[in-house]
Chain A
């Protein structure tokens, strides 16, 4: 792939893509093992991880791994995800968004309001999942906390896990819905038309020759 090719605009470099998919695969494993431990009806999912005890053993390690991987990704994407006035306007027009009426929406930079909200939802969820997960990590840490703290940790962990799963479902669906997005994260490039349609401010920035990230 060449970014000089006029039919292609680079959106994500190889390192970012690999980082994203490491986080994504870890998340899928965490969601499956977490749901297995969350509801009896989904306990059969523990078979994917070698049974109940292995699921319980593996889940927190994968969790720590994902937090580290996300930290790297998050630091990279942080600057483009700060919410601006136009993002709030975009969010208020959510009806036009879901009905594919881009012409009514304000210009969007590298990320739109929804993507930015998702970014911060993930950060809040991880910021709560990590400490609550440590509190309920019986093998190493639970002994240091009172039983009431462990109870609260278990509830908080389930709650934020649930919020994160819902948020990621929305994220995955957005990728399926807005055609061309998945290719941006698998191959790394988008067409000029895609950038012009969905992220016009970013499109201008890129085509004006302002340094690409």
Chain B
């Protein structure tokens, strides 16, 4: 496993390339979450709290199993529970561990600074009310850098969360999908959405054709075209136009020159004044 995970791959607020010589030749990492194996025990939530020293407020019961009710600056991962009545009339309990998907093409990074929330296609980052800074899952980069798996992976009692190279995780997912298909889930599949360049947190879903069933997992997530336009074409075009406007002014001054009031104009004014008074 590559240990250079703390090398910065991409940064916001710069147009210059990041150091790129060292690549992940042994494969990029990925976390695979098998929703079909998840029992909703929330051990991953607890492990995340422990490792990252996070303590969310003790909330109130909102009538379902989700607790806390939403991701927050203190809760970087959250089990979401959805009840789905399948066409056969059976109830399926679809449990999904929500959190940062670690997109290959991250909308949050594109929209930085301060607008990561508007950039994220998965609605993940949260801004702290205390320090006004954004927080979300780090994929336990501090653990991964020293060869450990993320805390949530370590804690999972059923092996629903696994961590390794993206290629290994994809292969592992295929085995799981085959198994699920043989058990009657013909639409089982891997969630690794291409619209954001793939993600480094992937799901095995029983109903990969309907990701929305899993507490609104987006079907075809992509960076919003508004954000794309705002952070894409407008930037260089607008700067160019601003510089061009100033340059046209400069050229006009050099080419045509200033508009000066001379003695003739003063004379004209004097004559007109005399005429009227």
Residues in chain A within 8 A of chain B (CB atoms)? 37-43, 52-53, 56, 98-100, 102, 136, 138-139, 142, 147-148, 150-152, 154-155, 158-159, 162, 165-166, 169-170, 172-173, 176-180, 191-198, 203-204, 207-208
Interface residues of B in 21-80 (CB under 8 A from A): none
The answer to whether A56 and B118 have CB atoms under 8 Å apart is no
Number of residue pairs spanning A and B whose beta carbons lie under 8 angstroms apart: 140
Given contacts A56-B114, A207-B273, contact A40 B245 (CB under 8 A): no
Given contacts A151-B230, A154-B118, A204-B276, contact A41 B268 (CB under 8 A): no
The answer to whether B13 and A52 have CB atoms under 8 Å apart is yes
Given contacts A139-B132, A148-B224, A177-B253, contact A41 B15 (CB under 8 A): yes
Contact of B260 among A40, A179, A204 (CB under 8 A): A179
Contacts of A169 in B (CB 8 A): 242, 245-246, 249
Contacts of B235 in A (CB 8 A): 38-39
Can you list 29 A-B pairs, Cβ within 8 angstroms, ordered by A? A37-B114, A38-B238, A39-B239, A43-B13, A52-B13, A52-B113, A100-B256, A148-B226, A150-B118, A154-B115, A154-B226, A155-B229, A155-B230, A165-B242, A169-B245, A173-B249, A173-B252, A176-B249, A176-B253, A176-B258, A177-B249, A177-B252, A178-B259, A192-B266, A194-B261, A194-B265, A196-B266, A196-B268, A204-B276
Q: Apart from A147-B117, A178-B259, what are 19 other A-B pairs with CB-CB below 8 Å?
A: A40-B13, A43-B14, A53-B132, A56-B113, A136-B118, A147-B123, A150-B117, A151-B226, A162-B242, A176-B253, A178-B258, A179-B259, A179-B261, A180-B260, A194-B265, A197-B261, A197-B268, A198-B261, A207-B273
Q: Smallest Cβ distance from A64 to chain B, in angstroms?
A: 17
B241 at interface (Cβ–Cβ under 8 A)?
Answer: yes
B127 at interface (Cβ–Cβ under 8 A)?
Answer: yes
Contact of B115 among A136, A172, A176 (CB under 8 A): A136
Contacts of A178 in B (CB 8 A): 258-259
Main secondary structure of the interface of A (DSSP, over half): helix
Given contacts A40-B13, A170-B245, A195-B269, contact A151 B118 (CB under 8 A): yes
Q: Smallest Cβ distance from A210 to chain B, in angstroms?
A: 11
Sorting the interface of chain B by its residue count into under 10, 10 to 19, 20 to 34 or 35 or more gives 35 or more
B82 at interface (Cβ–Cβ under 8 A)?
Answer: no
Q: Smallest Cβ distance from A177 to chain B, in angstroms?
A: 6
Cα distance A155–B128 in the bound complex, in angstroms: 24
Given contacts A154-B226, A197-B265, contact A192 B238 (CB under 8 A): no
Contacts of A155 in B (CB 8 A): 226-227, 229-230, 234
Q: Which residue of B lies closest to A102 (CB)?
A: B259
Cα distance A162–B241 in the bound complex, in angstroms: 9
Contact of B249 among A99, A148, A170, A204 (CB under 8 A): A170
The answer to whether A98 and B252 have CB atoms under 8 Å apart is yes
Cα distance A53–B265 in the bound complex, in angstroms: 53
Cα distance A172–B272 in the bound complex, in angstroms: 31
Residue among B239, B252, B257, B261 facing the most chain A CB atoms (10 A cut-off)? B261
The answer to whether B261 and A193 have CB atoms under 8 Å apart is yes
Contacts of A147 in B (CB 8 A): 117-118, 123
Q: Smallest Cβ distance from A128 to chain B, in angstroms?
A: 15
B18 at interface (Cβ–Cβ under 8 A)?
Answer: no
Per-residue 0/1 for B125-160: is the Cβ within 8 Å of any A Cβ (1 yes, 0 no)? 001000010000000000000000000000000000
Cα distance A88–B99 in the bound complex, in angstroms: 58
Q: Smallest Cβ distance from B244 to chain A, in angstroms?
A: 9
The answer to whether B272 and A207 have CB atoms under 8 Å apart is yes
Q: Smallest Cβ distance from B125 to chain A, in angstroms?
A: 11
Contacts of B230 in A (CB 8 A): 151, 154-155, 158
